[in-house]
Amino acid sequence: MLQVRGSTGGRIQSTMIIISHTRGSNHAMPRIGAPENKQPLDRWLMIPHRSCPTLLLFLITQGDVIASVGLSHIIGKLNDHLRISTNILYCNEHQKLINYESECLRTAGITRMIYTSAAAVNSSRLQRHIGDGSQLFVVISTEPPYDLLRTLDLRFQNADFLIVIDRRIDREMWLAYVQHAFELGYVRLLLHTTPNGGVYGKTLFPKVRIDPTTVEQYLQHRASMRDLHGYPVRVAAYKNVPRSFMYVNSWGRMVYAGFYMRFVRAFLDSRNATFIPVHTPSDSPGNCTLSLRNETVDLCADSLAANPEMFSLTYGFRIAYANVMVAHAKKLLSYRYLEAPFQISVWLCLVTYVILIVGFLSCIHWQQHRRWDFSKYLLEVFSSLLFAGFSLRSIRGRERYILFGVIFMTGFVYSTMYLGLLKSMLISEVFEPQINTFEQLVASNTTLLVDPYDRILFAKYNMPEVLWSVVQTVTFETLLYHRNRFDQNYAYVLFTDRMALYETAQLFLRHPRLRRIPVNFAFLFTGIPMRKRWFLKEHLSTAWYHAFESGLTRKLSEDANNEAMSVGHLHYLITEHLEAKPLDLDYFVMPAIALALGSGLAIISFVIELTAWRMCRSRPQV
């Protein structure tokens, strides 16, 4: 039932949602606030005046009504100071709920949701509607509400819980409940007893206890976890450079380093917590996920994508993306330098020019001397292109000067441009075409290595379909073996922080061995993974946000890269020295090509001249 109450002027003052779930009962829940359920305070006070002890005894027995003023004050104070947007009232006793709602909560100008049983609470749907945080749960119960925490299913851990107890507090019973809530990650608890108007808060460290407090003190210390008194925090320790790694220093001590590990340790030191490293069976991030699910660790010093079924993450404010790193383009073979200055279209134009000029000269020579000399003029044209000197003595008349000028200018332009481009290429080095797209990577038939964890991740976050044809899944150790040696026979997928480390290792190379394809993919929010029941999740998220906002994360990343290089997880690569080597087969490729090309042209010239001679000989003489 949804009931909206408003003032006479039509302005809505508060919203109340009543959700009831009663098993085995055919009686409807009485309407909250109905006149027949109200018992005015004036009626209770209109009694015969007998004696002060009798009146005092009567007021004590009606403690629920008298304490309602204190409860209303507590709720109003919490709502105003914390800017609460929603009050969620929970009580599994109908009559008690009617009394508290009608006398204490009716005047609160805020949205209220009322639950009369734990079975009526759908925590996932409730979280989708009102979010997580800025809520106040008002729990009216005589016994510790274990069923409510079980129904919430680790949701609303950042909400405030005001537990209203209608009798004097049993410290032993409620201490066990506070301990249970603390183990589930619920630490914002405030207890209020209506018989004496007492307010009790919890102290978690160095041991859990319940102490009298005030609302003001609760508001001051509710979000404070400054001193954990050495409380042990288990952190998964494995090598995932540069995020997390470990090494033994020169004094024989184990050092836990890395971008995320340094931050986690600094956070725990600031809270006076004890850092407890827990080594995982292997270095795969999958072991971190498994450890968090089994709750053998509290958090991992790593950056993972969201997986709500397994763990919780810090606030998602940083977008990570992946790139593919492929081998740098290989140097052009020496024999290919001779054809590199010109593109194919220029070479085709040059071949066409040679054929036309040689054919034109041969035709003029036949007109003047009545015989073909194709090979002679072919050599003349090649001499002009090589700028080695040529003559057209067999051509008479003005045709000689015209053709000489054309051949000279063409040969000069071609030879000058060719030699200039060839010299610049020999100085600056020339490489084969670089792989810059995924299609080129697939066309080159280069294998893309991924480990099982990354394969699952990319299948979930939309890896480009074109890459799946070249993906090969290998173990994490095999992947590291090839990637850390910069094996150019394979391609690798790296996220931004790890890619910066591999670029740092190639900082002093003249030409890097691996370079990224400038296409980003797998955009996702990442964060530090934590156990779902851990009570410091919000504090770590806030600290991580401030570190990112202040630029501290960039400094930590640079220091982690330098530290990883200094301890030998990767080494700075050096450029190979050029040394004199014996001549190999590659040295003789170009002379062989020139010999084959010259022999082919000679045979073609011979065939052309022989064919022309026979055609002239077979022609009848006039």
Measured between alpha carbons, how far is residue 203 from residues 67, 206, 373 in Å?
Answer: 25, 8, 110
Convert the pLDDT of each residue in 222-275 to its tens digit: 878 888 999 999 999 999 999 999 999 889 899 999 999 999 999 999 999 999
Integer Cα distance of 287 and 293 in angstroms: 10
Residue 410, pLDDT > 50, answer yes
Integer Cα distance of 17 and 6 in angstroms: 14
Integer Cα distance of 535 and 152 in angstroms: 16
Residue 473, pLDDT > 90, answer yes
Provide the pairing of β-strand 209-212 with 198-203. antiparallel
Q: Is the pTM of this model over 0.75?
A: no
Tokens of 132: 């997580």
User: What is the mean pLDDT of the segment spanning 597-617?
Assistant: 79
Residue ranges of alpha helices (H) inside 386-473 are 398-428, 438-443, 452-460
Helix (H, G, I), strand (E, B) or coil at 4: strand
- Return the pLDDT at 4: 35
- Return the pLDDT at 285: 86
Name the CA dihedral angle for 295, 298, 299, 300, rounded to a multiple of 10 degrees.
Answer: -60
The set of residues, in sequence order, having a beta carbon less than 8 Å from that of 129 and lying 6+ positions away, is none
Q: Tell me how crowded residue 468 is: count the other CB atoms within 10 A of its CB.
A: 13
User: What is the mean pLDDT of the segment spanning 363-389?
Assistant: 81
Residue owning tokens 């397994």: 310
Integer Cα distance of 56 and 64 in angstroms: 14
- Find, among 496, 490, 467, 495, the residue nearest to 478 by Cα: 490
Do residues 146 and 181 make contact, with C-beta atoms less than 8 angstroms apart? no
CATH (residue range 2-22+55-221) = 3.40.50.2060
Secondary structure string (H, E, C) spanning 504-520: HHCCCCCCCCEEECCCC
- Return the pLDDT at 529: 94
Instruction: Look up residue 177 and give its DSSP letter.
Output: H
- Return the pLDDT at 575: 73
- Return the pLDDT at 80: 87
The set of residues, in sequence order, having a beta carbon less than 8 Å from that of 235 and lying 6+ positions away, is 261, 264, 265, 268, 275, 276, 277, 278, 297, 298, 299, 300, 301
Do residues 539 and 318 make contact, with C-beta atoms less than 8 angstroms apart? no
Do residues 127 and 151 make contact, with C-beta atoms less than 8 angstroms apart? no
User: What mean pLDDT, rounded, does the chain reach?
Assistant: 81
- Residue ranges, comma separated, of all CATH 3.40.50.2060 domains in the chain are 2-22+55-221
Tokens of 249: 């220093």
Most confident of 214-223, 426-435, 596-605: 214-223
The set of residues, in sequence order, having a beta carbon less than 8 Å from that of 300 and lying 6+ positions away, is 235, 236, 244, 285, 288, 291, 292, 528, 529
Integer Cα distance of 195 and 62 in angstroms: 9
Residue 36: pLDDT band (50, 70, 90) is: very low
- Return the pLDDT at 383: 85
- Return the pLDDT at 24: 39
User: What is the mean pLDDT of the segment spanning 35-39?
Assistant: 38
Residue 106: pLDDT band (50, 70, 90) is: low
Do residues 425 and 333 make contact, with C-beta atoms less than 8 angstroms apart? no
- Range scoring the smallest mean pLDDT among 90-94, 270-274, 344-348, 387-391: 387-391
pLDDT > 70 fraction of the chain, expressed in percent and rounded: 84
User: What is the mean pLDDT of the segment spanning 393-406?
Assistant: 80
- Return the pLDDT at 30: 34
Considering only residues 386 and 42, tell me which one the structure prediction assigns the higher pLDDT. Answer: 386
Residue 22, pLDDT > 90, answer no
Task: Give the largest CA-CA distance in the chain.
Answer: 164
- Return the pLDDT at 619: 61
Q: Distance of alpha carbon 111 from its chain centroid, rounded?
A: 37
Considering only residues 456 and 4, tell me which one the structure prediction assigns the higher pLDDT. Answer: 456
